Amino acid sequence: MLVLYANGDGQAAAELMRRLGPRCFGVALRVLGNAAEAEDVTQEAMMRLWRMAPDWQSGQAKVSTWLYRVVMNLCIDLKRRQRGGHVDLDAIPEPPDPARSAPEQLQEAARQDALQQALMQLPERQRQAVVLRHIEELANPDIAGIMDISVEAVESLTARGKRTLAKILAERRDELGYADD
Amino acid sequence: MTDKEGAQEDMSDVDALFASAREVPPQMPKNLEQAILRDAAQVQARRLEAQTQARSGQGATPERGLHRIWRQFSTAIGGWPALGGLAAASLVGLWVGVAPPAFLPDPVESFVAYSSGAQLISEQGYDVSLLMSEEVFE
């Protein structure tokens, strides 16, 4: 698809955007915790994909892996630039789910908010590893490639991150309705 | 409930939250989709334009003969503006030669007034026999 785009196929860009755009945006949103920043990072990452397209060689890493890496690096750069800045959790949109009743949707939204808030309390590298492992469901070797660390380091980061999340969320168990489940 | 069971329950809550997050991924805003597609189209158009220019540059046939010499000449003297100036100066020179201003001698008349080259030479103070002698021409 990337080769088609590089050769001038007008439809290829739309297809690549449909496949890869939401994944970039989702990861950036989870890691940054801010929708506007996630949009900027996603647009920049996709721009780098368009520019890189003619030089892409099949047999290299997967395009999605390459793109995750770009997104993560852009997130790190952004956070470095704004050290001391605030995190706008209210900027995270909650997608509506028509299959659920209004109370269920509210509770689900509250749970996702709680997850995001807990994620934002993790150290940056732990948060990246947890998002890639448990939300994007990438394999540890892929995450190691994206984050430029060893597989063992990925395992350590995800295990510690998940334990911390469980501890943070356990304090809000009743509030989030898990005691009734 | 033991501590171990409690920890397992907390972990299963986190797993449920992860599953829910995967189930309903964040929606990309429409304006972001449009911006990404606009970027893609611009990058693609610039690349295709550059490729077209590169191809047309490679396909051009080299100039030959008089055309090349003429182009080199015009470039050397400064291009079309210089050629225009040269043409204007040539026309003025021709005009001054054919119809000179009153304060200048008429070169055409001065030549026509003499019936032969010998008369012209003698009237200018030259000795024809001297000019024709072998010593002079040797």
Q: What is the ipTM of this complex?
A: 0.77
**A180's tokens:** 């009734």
Positive or negative torsion for Cα A28, A34, A39, A41 = negative
- Asked if A1-83 and A100-181 have one fold, the answer is no
Chain B partners of A135 at a C-beta cutoff of 8 Å? 18, 21-22
Q: What is the mean pLDDT of residues B22-50?
A: 89
Put residue B65 in one of left, alpha, beta given phi > 0 → left and psi -120 to 50 → alpha: left
Q: pLDDT of B45-89, one tens digit each? A: 888 888 788 777 665 555 666 777 777 777 777 777 777 888 888
**A162's tokens:** 């998940």
**pLDDT at position A92:** 46
B83 Cα to chain A: minimum distance (Å)? 44
8 Å CB contact between A131 and A31: yes
| Chain B CA closest to residue A12 | B40
**A6's tokens:** 């590089």
Compute the distance between CA of residue A41 and CA of residue B131 in angstroms, rounded to an integer.
Answer: 96
Single-letter residue type at B126: Y
CATH 3.30.465.10 fits domain A100-181 = no
Contacts of B28 (CB under 8 A, 6+ apart): A21, A22, A25, A42
Chain B partners of A42 at a C-beta cutoff of 8 Å? 28, 32, 36
**pLDDT at position A89:** 47
8 Å CB contact between A101 and A130: no
- Using the Cβ of B36 and the Cβ atoms of chain A, whether some distance falls under 8 Å is answered with yes
8 Å CB contact between A12 and A4: yes
Q: What are the structural domain ranges in chain A?
A: 1-83, 100-181
In this structure, the number of other CB atoms found within 10 A of the CB of residue A169 comes to 22
Q: pLDDT of B88-130, one tens digit each? A: 888 887 887 777 777 776 666 665 665 566 666 666 666 767 6
Topology of domain A1-83, per CATH? Rna Polymerase Sigma Factor; Chain: A (1.10.1740)
Note down pLDDT in tens along chain A; length 181 residues: 888 888 888 788 999 999 999 999 999 999 998 899 999 999 999 999 999 988 887 777 788 889 999 999 999 888 888 765 554 544 444 454 555 566 666 777 788 888 899 999 999 999 999 999 999 999 999 999 999 999 999 999 999 999 999 988 888 777 777 655 5
Suggest the residue from B4, B12, B13, B48 to mutate for an interface test with chain A (most A CBs closer than 10 A).
B13
**A141's tokens:** 């070797």
**pLDDT at position A150:** 95
Predicted TM-score (pTM) above 0.80: no
Task: Note the residue count of chain B.
Answer: 138
Query: Which of residues 60 through 79 in chain A touch B, CB cutoff 8 A?
Result: none
Compute the distance between CA of residue A141 and CA of residue A148 in angstroms, rounded to an integer.
Answer: 10
Q: What is the mean pLDDT of residues B16-32?
A: 88
A115/B26 Cβ within 8 A: no
What letter does residue B124 receive in the DSSP assignment? T
